Structure 1
Amino acid sequence: MLAPFLIMLREGLEAALIVGIIASYLRQTGRQAWLPAIWVGVFLAIALSLFAGAGLQMASAQFPQKAQELFEAVIALVAVAVLVGMVFWMRRAARSIRAELHASVDAALHGGAATWGLIGMVFLAVAREGLESVFFLLAIFQQSQDGAAPIGAALGVLVAIGAGWGIYAGALRLDLKRFFRWTGIFILFVAAGLFASAIKALHEAGLWNALLDPVYDLSGVLPESSPLGTVLGGLLGYRDAPSLGEFLGWAGFLAVTLPLFLRPSAPMTQAVGQK
């Protein structure tokens, strides 16, 4: 439950932050009449995400067993790519996202079809987060036996909506840089667990038959189905009896992504005027 909650909190807060910045800018520049276009874009993006999730779920239900395992592996790998792209994109864009969104709003409203330009801008921004959420939730629901995962995801979205409204209204001040940094580290651990699960699914689909010896077996001490095992599985990708391939995939993934994410950001270049 905790992993879906935190992931959807971050995904939802990213979308709410983008919408909040756009709405605040319209309000500050006396263009409140354009606010309904924002909600049209948001609702269209939510509808697309829901249809995409339902379509993928219905399609997977028709597959035979091995094809379902392959589908789970593909969804998990897509979710890994999406999660990694999300944390690195926000790391890179966090410092300039407000200025870029303001410039995009001005460009959209000065175009020949201002309403559609603003709707399209909001739609693409929110749909990106929504489709990322679809792939993540499909992967986590397929890999997790925790029936509370959908509840955690829903709570994360609700809290994100509340936080987004607080940011828009000026009542809530978050240290977004620190928030996205710590949640980024957490998401990389979740992605590592999904990557290891994808390796396991590929084996069950008959496409991966190497490095199958177990590294350790803690099923008698700390089974995955126990409360602590479930929490560690969601947070750190814990497996009570991983194969060598799963363990190397998990550890190798973190060995590559964590140093890249934690490295110091390059200073923003500033133009120096000449007198």
Structure 2
Amino acid sequence: MLVPFLIMLREGIEAALIVGIIASYLQQTGRGQWMPAVWIGVFLAAALALLVGGGLELMSAEFPQKQQELFEALIGLVAVVILTSMVFWMRKVARSVKHSLQAALDQALTGSRHQVAALIAMVFFAVAREGLETVFFLLAVFQQSEGPSAPIGALLGLLLAVAIGFAIYSGSMRLNLSLFFRWTGLFILVVAAGILGNSVMALHEAGVWNSLQTVVFDISATLPMDGPTGSVLAGMFGYQDAPTVSTLGAYLIYLVVALVAFFMPHAAPAPVNSSPATHP
């Protein structure tokens, strides 16, 4: 439950910040009448995410066992790529995302004859990115989890994200977003390593990957995956009680490379300046 809760919370806050920045800027520049177009873009993005998620889940239910394992592996690999890019993208643009959104908003409202359609499209693509990222991650988690705990965790994370986003927008709550995204980003990289390890195992079970299958160690008698602690660790971090060379190797190589890149100093991009003569 904790993993989908935290991921949904992070992605929900990202989406809420995007919408909040756009809404605040529209109000500050006297263009509050455009807010219905913003909400249309948000709802279209949410509908797309639900359709993609539901379609992929229904499609996988029709597959035979080996094809289901292959589908699970592919979804997991896509989720790892998306999660990793999400963490490093936010790390790179966190300080300039507000200025970038404001500049894109100005361009949508002044550089197009069809202003409503341009604004809807801008909001749609900005929010749909967060939604599709979440869909692939949740599919990977749901396929590796049993029972209703994962969907419940995701729903609770979404509800809390909406509440926090509204509180930030209304000014009643201040959140250290830099610290929040840093720690959740670190957590996501560890989770992604576990998803990668499970995806490699699923590739083996699908008959696609059969190399390096020697078991490194077996602690199933001490900490079994189907026990209370083992199941929690498996659901959160992809724990395996008898990992093979390929699954453990994929886990460790990804985690080391990702953590080194994550903690390396980086240069923040220069903020995009808006023209003061145009916006009071």
Normalising by structure 1, what TM-score? 0.95
Per the alignment, residue 199 of structure 1 pairs with 200
Question: Which amino acid letter does the alignment assign opposite residue 104 of structure 1?
Answer: A
Contact 1:189/1:237, CA 8 A, preserved across alignment: no
| Distance in 2 between residues matched to 1:269 and 1:20, nearest whole Å | 22
Task: Please give the alpha-carbon distance, in whole angstroms, between the structure 2 residues aligned to 1:152 and 1:230.
Answer: 16
Cα distance 1:136–1:267, how it changes in 2: closer, same or farther (>3 A)? closer
Aligned to 1:189: 190
Q: CA deviation at 1:41?
A: 0.4
2:144 pairs with 1:143: yes
State the AA in 2 paired with 1:240: D
Change in 2 beyond 3 A, CA 1:87/1:63? same
CA–CA separation in structure 2 for the residues paired with 1:31 and 1:190: 41
Q: Which residue of 1 aligns with 2:275?
A: none
Amino acid in structure 1 at the alignment position of 2:50: L
What is the CA–CA distance in structure 2 between the aligned matches of 1:13 and 1:245, rounded to whole Å?
35
Given the alignment of the two structures, is residue 51 of structure 1 paired with residue 51 of structure 2, yes or no? yes
Q: Tell me which residue corresponds to 1:273.
A: none
Contact 1:2 1:231 in 2 (8 A): no
Q: Counterparts of 1:14-25 in structure 2 under 5 Å?
A: 14-25=14-25
User: What's the CA shift for 1:146?
Assistant: 5.0
Report the Cα offset of residue 226 of structure 1: 2.8
Q: Deviations over 1:104-131 (max 9, x none)?
A: 1111111211111111111001111111
- Alpha-carbon offset, residue 59 of structure 1: 1.1
CA distance in 2: counterparts of 1:226 and 1:113, whole angstroms: 58
24-33 vs 74-83, greater mean Cα deviation: 24-33
AA partner of residue 86 (structure 2): M
1:146 and 1:230 in contact (8 A); partners too: no
Letter in 1 for 2:19: V
Distance in 1 of aligned mates of 2:235 and 2:176:
25
1:251 aligned partner: 252
- Encode CA deviations 1:69-113: one digit per residue, 9 max, x unaligned: 111110000000110010011001101000001111111111211
Alpha-carbon separation, structure 2, partners of 1:160 and 1:213: 43
User: Which residues of 2 match residues 139-218 of structure 1 at below 5 A?
Assistant: 139-218=140-219
Bigger mean CA offset, 151-160 vs 216-225: 216-225
Q: CA deviation at 1:267?
A: 4.9
Identity rate, percent: 58
CA contact (8 A) 1:190 1:234 kept: no
Cα offset, 1:231, TM superposition: 2.8
1:180-209 per-residue CA deviation (whole Å, 9 max, x = no partner) reads 111001000110001001100000010111
Counterpart of 2:38? 38
**Following the alignment from structure 2 to structure 1, what is the Cα–Cα distance between the partners of residues 158 and 196?**
24
Structure 1, unaligned runs of 5 or more: 271-275
Deviations 1:122-160 (A, max 9, x none): 100111111111111111111123530110011111111
Task: Please state how far the C-alpha of 1:229 moved relative to its aligned partner.
Answer: 2.1
Where structure 2 has 5 or more consecutive residues not aligned to the other structure, the ranges are 272-280
In 2, Cα distance between equivalents of 1:138 and 1:125: 21
- Residue 268 (structure 1) shift: 4.7
Distance (whole Å) between structure 1 residues aligned to residue 227 and residue 168 of structure 2: 38
Greater alpha carbon shift after TM alignment, 220-229 vs 127-136: 220-229
CA contact (8 A) 2:6 2:157 kept: yes
Change (3 A) 1:266 1:154: same
TM-score (norm 2): 0.93
Report how many aligned residue pairs link the two structures.
270
> How many angstroms apart in 2 are the aligned matches of 1:256 and 1:56?
30
**8 Å CA contact 1:79, 1:135 repeated in 2:** yes
Superposition map of 1:123-138 within 5 A: 123-138=124-139
Q: Tell me the distance in 2 between the aligned counterparts of 1:104 and 1:14.
A: 17
